[in-house]
Amino acid sequence: MRPHSAGRARRRERGVVIYLVLATMMVTIAMAAFATDIAMLYNERRNDQSLADVAALGAIQDTIVSDDAVATSAQTLLSGPRETPFSAAELDSCDVAEIPADFTPHPTANCVSFNAGRTAVRVAVPTRSLGTSFAGVFGIADLEHSASAIAGLDNPGLGNVLPFGLAADAGTFECVKVGAGNVPDPMCSGASSGNFGFLNFGFHGDVDAGTTPDCVGNGRNRVPVNIAQGIDHLLSLYGEDPHGFTAVGDSDTCGSPPRPNAATTLTGNTPQILGEGIMAGTGFPDGGDARLQRTGRLSWALPDTSVLGRDLDDTPLWEFIPSDLWGHDVPVSCYRNQFVGETGGMDTENDGIMSALPDPIEAHLTTVPRATRMTKLLNRCITHYSGLDWDDGGALSPAESPSGCSGTCSDPVFSRNTATRGAYDLWDLQYSPRFAYIPRLNLTASQLGGTTGVVFVEFEAVWIQRVYGGNCSNSGCETVFDPGVYYSDSVASDKVNAMTTFIFPTGMLPGELDDPNAPNLVGVNQFVGLLR
């Protein structure tokens, strides 16, 4: 090669290198600039996610009011940090294709959507555009950003609604489900005009409860599930939000409209259905077993006991009385020493009679079986709490007047609070499978008959006390089980013919557990958390 040709080649190579370096620098600068836009977009989306989280957590607390109240809360919370609040049109501008299949959008604010049971709410931040600084070089003038969050209601305890009904004239101790007869208990010896106490609740569908929508027919197949794990959706009270004095039937709606305030009753002598839900069934949709098998939530609870071939909860109601109840506005008959001995367990002296009892009461109780004594002592406590004399249904004369408070008492009795599970601080009572809520209905016992439409006046906090199980006849049942009296048997059966419950008077429970709408209240039985 000639010398001058080699020089030209080297100059051409240097020129190519310069162009390559310049091109690389331009790409590097462009990528750095584009990365700046991406970082700004990432920051906006992070802010969107925080906004969606806060809005979902706040809005779901209004779900017991109405869908419109939830949408209004979401709009307010989403607009909080903005100079210009989101408009109603913007709150209805979200992409419905992104809404989960089991959620339904609000009809005029599709950035807010609900599951059928109103136990979960999804809130999306309306899509907005971020003007780019450098990406415009590549023809990208705007970058869209949004985010969504789903908040759910969680009931970490067992204070949920069961598919029974209390008549309008029900007292403080009732048989909430009876067969057609043959139960050797005056309270449970028959039914009112063929109505035996079940309510027809549907499945509105809830992921955590493991249920899918089912509101067809009389719902007998759903009753055991609803007994074992409670109703899978929110209810409301007749005369209150969201339906006022319009009766909205539960199985007629299946979530649309939501929060029903009424139901039909079910008739029939069905001990297998009651037995399956209360003590015999296993593998329910939420992964749990029958209600009284849902034990182990309290470290101090009495051991389970074998009843009808199953290990069932055996912790009695008096165990939830704190030892320092003295001096409060409660009757002396509710003190812990009226039920248990000084060592904390049931006295064996005098076959279970408590030495702290007044002599007339101790003498009276020696005439009845041990389990019945404890039920009578609870009845005595609750009667005195209401400011009434206790005469044991006319069997005690003279009647015993209350002492320890004047008139109706006002301080809680069953307020033991020693257990903690996860992030929630519930009262110990809420962890018991015997604690639940039952709707009080608008009809008296004599008015209930056949398949009847009823509305919910309030939700009563109750305690499941006695189970009449196995085969019953006029002479007795195979099993009569009260908790806390060391009962055990080897009989195997899946039948429960009747079940008695205590209904707590107002004020007897701590916090707001006896509020008329307590099973739906956030911070009482329902707690909010982010699902996704």
Give the model's pLDDT for residue 38: 65
Whether the pLDDT of residue 530 is over 50: the answer is yes
How many other β-carbons are positioned within 10 Å of the β-carbon of residue 256? 11
pTM attached to this predicted model: 0.87
Does residue 431 contact residue 421 with C-beta atoms inside 8 Å?
A: yes
Structure tokens at 113: 């959507």
Give the model's pLDDT for residue 25: 60
CA separation for the pair 140, 247 (Å, rounded): 55
pLDDT digits over 457-491, tens only?
999 999 999 999 998 887 888 999 999 987 888 88
Q: Of 499, 479, 498, 477, which is closest to residue 489 (Cα–Cα)?
A: 479
Mean pLDDT of the chain: 86
Q: Collapse the DSSP code of 529 into the 3-class scheme (helix H, G, I; strand E, B; otherwise coil) and give the result.
A: strand
CA separation for the pair 378, 384 (Å, rounded): 10
Whether the pLDDT of residue 397 is over 70: the answer is yes
**Chain CA centroid to CA 503, Å:** 18
CA separation for the pair 192, 196 (Å, rounded): 7
Positive or negative: CA dihedral 191, 192, 198, 200: positive
**What's at 238, amino acid-wise?**
Y
Give the model's pLDDT for residue 342: 47
Q: Of 150, 155, 153, 154, which is closest to residue 74 (Cα–Cα)?
A: 150
Give the model's pLDDT for residue 99: 95
Give the model's pLDDT for residue 344: 39
Domain ranges of the chain: 3-153, 173-321+414-525
Residue 182 zone, left/alpha/beta (φ > 0; ψ -120 to 50; rest): left
CA separation for the pair 348, 440 (Å, rounded): 39
Q: Who has greater pLDDT, 37 or 78?
A: 78
pLDDT digits over 290-337, tens only?
999 999 888 888 889 999 999 999 999 999 999 888 778 999 999 988
